Structure 1
Amino acid sequence: MAVHHISIQGTGEWNEDAVVLNEKQQLYGVIDGATSLVPFRGANNETGGRLASQLLQRYFEQLTSEDCRDLETLTNEANFQLGEEMRVSGIRMDDKRELWTAAIAIIRITDHHIEYAQAGDCMLMALYRDGSVRTITRDHVSHIGDVPMTTWKEGIASGIRTKAALREKVQPLLLRNKDKMNTDDGYSVLNGLPDAEKYIEYGKINRIQLAGLLLVTDGLFYPEEWPNTASENEKLDEKLLRRVASDGLENYAEWLLSLEKDDPECIRYPRFKISDDKSGVWITF
Structure 2
Amino acid sequence: MAGALCLTDRGNAANEDFVRVTESYGIVVDGASGLAGEPLFAPRFATNAQWLSHVVGERACAELEGGASVDDALERAVGAARAELETAAGVALERMDPLAVPSATLALAAVKGDVVELRGLGDSPLAVLMRDGSLVVVTDEALEALDARAVSLMALRDPGCALSGPERRRLVDDVVRANRLLRNVDGGYWSLDSSGDGLAHARRASLPREEVLAVAGMSDGMWRAFSEFGVAEAARELVGLTPGRAHEIVRRLRELEASDPDLARFPRLKRSDDASLFWIGL
The TM-score with structure 2 as length reference comes to 0.87
Whether contact under 8 Å (1:21, 1:61) holds in the other structure is: no
Structure 2 counterpart of 1:251, from 248, 251, 257: 248
1:18 and 2:18 aligned: yes
Q: Distance in 1 between matches of 2:222 and 2:239?
A: 14
Question: What amino acid sits opposite 1:39 in the alignment?
Answer: G
* 1:74 alignment partner in structure 2: 73
* 2:25 alignment partner in structure 1: 27
Q: Distance in 1 between matches of 2:90 and 2:116?
A: 36
1:187 and 2:186 aligned: no
* 1:88 alignment partner in structure 2: 87
Question: What amino acid sits opposite 1:219 in the alignment?
Answer: G
Q: Deviations over 1:169-192 (max 9, x none)?
A: 111100111111111221111111
Which structure 1 segments of 5+ residues have no match?
226-235
Q: Distance in 1 between matches of 2:206 and 2:231?
A: 20
The TM-score with structure 1 as length reference comes to 0.86
How many residues are aligned here?
271
1:239 and 2:233 aligned: yes
1:36 and 2:38 aligned: no
Q: Distance in 2 between matches of 1:202 and 1:159?
A: 40
Aligned residue for 1:281, secondary structure, equals strand
Alignment of 1:1-285 (within 5 A): 1-10=2-11, 12-22=12-22, 26-41=24-39, 42-44=41-43, 46-63=46-63, 65-67=65-67, 69-90=68-89, 92=91, 93-94=93-94, 95-155=97-157, 157-221=159-223, 222-224=226-228, 239-243=233-237, 245=239, 248-285=245-282
RMSD between superposed Cα atoms in Å: 2.3
Whether contact under 8 Å (1:86, 1:99) holds in the other structure is: no
Which structure 2 segments of 5+ residues have no match?
none
The 1:204/1:98 distance shift into structure 2, 3 A limit, reads same
Whether contact under 8 Å (2:57, 2:77) holds in the other structure is: no
Q: In the TM superposition, what is the alpha-carbon distance from 1:21 to its structure 2 partner?
A: 2.8
Whether contact under 8 Å (1:28, 1:106) holds in the other structure is: yes
Aligned residue for 1:184, secondary structure, equals coil
Percent identity over paired residues: 21
Q: Which moved more, 1:37-46 or 1:168-177?
A: 37-46
Q: Deviations over 1:22-57 (max 9, x none)?
A: 55xx22111100111123222315201100011012
Q: Distance in 1 between matches of 2:59 and 2:205?
A: 20
Aligned residue for 1:164, secondary structure, equals helix
Q: Distance in 1 between matches of 2:71 and 2:187?
A: 23
Aligned residue for 1:208, secondary structure, equals helix
Question: What amino acid sits opposite 2:182 in the alignment?
Answer: K
Whether contact under 8 Å (1:128, 1:209) holds in the other structure is: yes
Q: In the TM superposition, what is the alpha-carbon distance from 1:137 to its structure 2 partner?
A: 4.1
